[in-house]
Structure 1
Amino acid sequence: MSAPKRVKRAISGWVILNKPYDMTSTQAVGKVRWLFGAAKAGHAGTLDPLATGILPIALGEATKAVPYVQDGTKIYRFAIAWGSSTTTDDTEGSVVATSEHRPSQAELEAVLPEFVGLFSQVPPIFSALKIDGERAYDLARAGEAVELAAREIRVDAISLVSHGSETTILEVTCGKGTYVRSLARDIAERLGTRGHVSMLHRAAVGPFTDTQSITIEMLEAVEGEARDALLRPVADSLAGLPELRLNPTQAAAVRHGNSVLLTGAGAPVTLDDAWASFGGQVLATGWVEFGQFQPRRVFN
């Protein structure tokens, strides 16, 4: 007889996973969802299989807050291997060009400020971006010529962690849509050489950082309530937004998707984004207009 199917639970919260090397984001979500028996799961921002670090995984009602985390600022620590560029801009691809030049630390520090601010970046051809409905990496693997348009990205800071003749480690703070593999490629070309990413670690996504992360092994080592205790509250993902604490009457209206007039000293008149709470629980995300909170997404 086949084993009975596991009953899916309506459990909600965030798993701040330290994704291991050589695991896809989809595999990580599937593993976490299975461990918790969650009815619903998703992640806030794909991480390459060859990358490690923060992969925020949302369970249940937390999936409604995914865009707020996904759009947040990210911090990456990465290594550039000097002397060769590859088809994938990392160690997975084939070498397509080489250079004998190895930049000095002074040369590197002189050009890094050019990669801070708003500027255009051409994504790597092995990326999840779509061209006429097809993923770019699928087309590239099929041998088709892939041309991706440059996109504007935002880099808030980039700093040197360590420098060697063969490998340099940098840390970058950036906005959504930044490809670190492209950044490494472009820095190398600006220095008159070639380079590719040989190590990539995401240290922060939105409000979540390395210090909050847990591993698959940590989740597997515990069961039941002990495992559930490792979940972070849904509200943690909204830490960057103003919180509006509602009274019982207001909360009842918002639960039904209705707008409410905010009262009391200091009640905001206008806000582009905010979240409403009652008793410490997330009720809804939305905005404030003419002193009224307008729900955009209601949480159960």
Structure 2
Amino acid sequence: MRIGIDLGGTKIEIIALGDDGRTLLRRRTVTPQGDYMATVMTLAGLVEAAEAELGRRGSVGIGIPGTESPTGGLIKNANSTCLNGKPLRRDLQAVLQREIRLANDANCFALSEAVDGSGQGAEIVFGIILGTGVGGGIVIDGKVIRGANAISGEWGHNPLPLPALDDLPLPDCYCGRQGCIESYLSGPALVREHFNRHGQQLDVAEIDRRASAGDAACESTLQRFEQRLGKALAGVINILDPQVIVLGGGLSKMTRLYRHLPVCCGPHIFSDVFQTRFEPPKHGDSSGVRGAAWLWN
């Protein structure tokens, strides 16, 4: 039995998978806010409760909104800031008395979709998260690529390529830089962009709905978003050349992206053909937690 946990900023989800990938158990709870030790004990409690309910012990993999430093084993780059600088894996191993595997949540998402999702059978899968933040994970031949600095797939903190006049001034990013892809392409960035240009405080789903109904302001906002996303992803494609890019996160639910992205990426691709597929996640919101379980695949 494989247990996976998706540690999010507001919720924690646990899943138990059988050897055949069948879901044996799934639970959710709220994430303790700003309290590291409460988070550790909540994670351990979820594992212990799941094993008690199922009557067996399992391997444990955890997806986190950051990554583990390859030098000191401390968490870095987590937008759940109470995790940063903490030895999360070591602390959990001490409580649960077993080895824990831990990976960035976008890596878990990509792994899930590569194993038995929309990228199944592909040599190279790039899984991206378009939500509160912008992240990514790379899976090659079924294996997550972590990298020398444990930052593989972090395309959201590259600068937006070829900024146009519409992209200026460069927005501030929480990482301390300016003009990061995440500061243009996250959900909050899209909402802020629409408000700043049109004075309408709308969420992403409503912007998408109104654009589909012919609202010119919402349509222009989404066209700018798609052009920026196309340029940003073209840079990744020119380096990785994945067969499949799987889109996750709240913005991936905009079905127009799957029609428009090939057109928006195409002019920036260094090739006479462009065959990369853009796919929604087969496992939807459950992909990250399933990928955490598959860290023991």
Q: Same fold (TM over 0.5)?
A: no
Q: Say which one has the larger Rg.
A: 1
TM-score (norm 1): 0.23
Greater strand fraction, Structure 1 or Structure 2: 1
